Amino acid sequence: MKKQVFTGAATALITPLKPSGIDYPAFGRLIDWQIEKGIDALVICGTTGEASTLNDEEHIDAIAFAAEKIAHRVPLIAGTGSNDTPHAIKLARAAWKAGADSLLVVTPYYNKTSQRGLVRYYYDIADSTPLPVILYNVPSRTGVTIEPSTCALLAEHENIVALKEAGGNISKTVETMALVGDRLALYSGNDDQIVPLLALGGLGVISVLSNLLPAETREIYYRFAAGDVAGSLALQLGYHRLIQALFSDVNPIPVKAAMAALGFCDNYLRAPLLPMEKSAEEKLLGVMRDMGLSV
């Protein structure tokens, strides 16, 4: 098996924003709180971090700030994918120099590509730095799927070490794991499928839920790993209503509202994203209150 980036739970961290830019004091407090709560890794500038509306300077500054704040306490996974391979390579190299420990690389979006194009894209990025690369399969956002046979080809590269699977198709994931074995670590990219993917050999989750509940989300993995499958499943099912509420609008709209209600940030998103409508937000906050979260 290749070297693992992490086991357990990695938070796909929000980026606290104000109209003037990144709210670095809030960002720093959030990073410290996540680590104090025992999170196993942090993803900076992923989908939940609104990377698509950060300019390149903000993107790399956020990674550099996080690297300094984290100070090697947990792995820093930097989102650096693009629909333009040279741009993705530029971001990957800049993230490496800024202090990232690993790269999370989404498939090209909008222009998409063939499976042959995916292999070339990922190989070129993996060749550009010494950092381990986590593939990110999320066809609902990108319009392209990393097919199981393509994962098997990508697993041959020494720097391509893991797959964040957010496709939602368990049968495809079974096929992928049958082909790649232990050559790619598997992480759930969907909070409602953590236990099913652990059952397929997954090593954890890259989570939105853990923005709110870092310790509780990682417990799903650690109970499973300790052999307490029933306890792990009870947690998965117990958080189902909250997970549904956190995805009742486009991510990260609901989680930003939730974190603002908990006092971690302003409920500000970059356009074209807008805050939740008040009726929907109140439903989310009601579920949070039912879960014992103080809002």
136 is catalytic: yes
Q: In whole angstroms, what is the distance from residue 73 CA to residue 69 CA? A: 9
Q: Single out the residue of 204, 193, 161, 200 nearest to residue 177, CA to CA.
A: 200
Element (H, E) at 116: helix 115-128
Which entry of 136, 221, 222, 239 is annotated as an active-site residue? Answer: 136
- Look at residue 180 and give its three-state secondary structure: helix
User: Residue 186: beta bridge partners?
Assistant: 163
Instruction: State the DSSP string of 5-45.
Output: S-SEEEEE----EETTEE-HHHHHHHHHHHHHTT-SEEEES
CA dist 154 and 160 (Å) reads 7
Q: Is-catalytic flag, 112?
A: no
Query: Among 121, 122, 164, 187, which one carries the catalytic annotation?
Result: 164
CA atoms within a 13 Å half-sphere pointing along the CA-CB vector of 229: 6
Residues designated as active site: 136, 164
